[in-house]
Amino acid sequence: MNESTRRKVRVKVPASTANLGPGFDTLGMALELYAWLDMSIADETRITLYGDQMNGVPTDKSNLIYKVAQLVFERAGVHHPELDIAMYSDIPLTRGLGSSASAIVGALVGANALIGEPLTKDELFQMATELEHHPDNVGASLFGGILVAFWDGKRAEHIRVEPHERLEALVAIPHFQLSTEKARDVLPRQQSLENAVFNVGHSSLLVAALCTGRLDMIKPAMKDALHQPYRATLVPGLAAILEEAPDHGALGVALSGAGPTILALVDRDSIEKAVLESFMLGKLKQEGIEATMLWLNPDKQGVRVDVLAPEESNETLEDALKKERVG
């Protein structure tokens, strides 16, 4: 093994919220909640996971990060079957905050950096979308900010929109998991023309509001007829929060991705932030649902990767993160 293949890369990748109300499978936003991973080429594969969010994640070659890294090597025509991978994440699994999208994006970007970045960002976006099928999640983690995207099964296209400076998110993360598969199973396979027109109109208005800084138009725009009404049965309290949160200080509110997390967009200068937080928590509590509330800024940068200097390479991810948090 030569020196250039011994290097280690460290990736920091943001969580994402998908759908943003009417933008089903098309409108996402990156959030300042992160997963980190270290990757280097090794003599024997070792996968180390830190933190509670990693419970149940495999540590052998069936690990998603490992498998996605191998796809990058295959595409680039190189062979590195043994990897040393370490991962830590603050992004809860199967809650609608794009944990699998962030893992895929982290693995793609990390593996590509490890071999000198032969693949372009667009190639990585295409690969991520093929793997995850939701370009709004993977695109937000990759590019940061707000992502307007679609995938036609062959190519994903996107435009990144800079989030307004006063835009902040409040997420209510219920203490139960909901798989995307289960949340998609409740959706009808056919929709009326009326519902289609409803969502095209609302989604278009929302994109225009986000592009022009019209925070006042988020409230009328952030409504959906395609997925939230059907998923309300899976998330007790959702229907009432969607209906009433805009009267308690939210600019707009939506199921985050396939749920069960509920996301409110908020004007960071609002004087009703505490009111909104206790309203959302209270509504969930009435239904017997405990939830963690987090205030999150949009992440504007997207995934970042560092090739570590040799003297930094011996430090474990855990120790490096402790330092980052203290510093």
The footprint of ligand HSE (CB under 6 A) covers 18-19, 25, 98, 134, 137, 180, 183-184, 227, 257-258
Closer residue to ligand HSE, CB minimum distance, 40 or 180:
180
Taking the complex as a whole, how short is the minimal distance between the CB of residue 23 and ligand HSE, in angstroms? 9
CA distance 302 to 9: 16
Taking the complex as a whole, how short is the minimal distance between the CB of residue 179 and ligand HSE, in angstroms? 10
3-state secondary structure of 250: coil
Taking the complex as a whole, how short is the minimal distance between the CB of residue 183 and ligand HSE, in angstroms? 6
What is the end-to-end Cα distance of the chain in Å, rounded? 35
Taking the complex as a whole, how short is the minimal distance between the CB of residue 1 and ligand HSE, in angstroms? 38
CA distance 18 to 25: 7
Q: What is the DSSP string of 275-295?
A: HHHHHHHHHHHHTT--EEEEE
Closer residue to ligand HSE, CB minimum distance, 34 or 73:
34
Taking the complex as a whole, how short is the minimal distance between the CB of residue 96 and ligand HSE, in angstroms? 6
Residue written as token pair 């919220």 = 17
Taking the complex as a whole, how short is the minimal distance between the CB of residue 7 and ligand HSE, in angstroms? 33
CA distance 48 to 317: 9
CA distance 29 to 16: 5
Report the candidate in 309, 326, 311, 319 with the shortest Cα–Cα distance to residue 9: 309
Report the candidate in 236, 231, 218 with the shortest Cα–Cα distance to residue 291: 236
Closer residue to ligand HSE, CB minimum distance, 133 or 219:
133
Closer residue to ligand HSE, CB minimum distance, 114 or 232:
232
Is 85 within 8 Å of 96 (Cβ atoms)?
no
Closer residue to ligand HSE, CB minimum distance, 249 or 260:
260
User: Is the preceding omega at residue 260 within 30 degrees of 0, hence cis?
Assistant: yes
Chain residue whose CB lies nearest ligand HSE: 257
Closer residue to ligand HSE, CB minimum distance, 134 or 158:
134
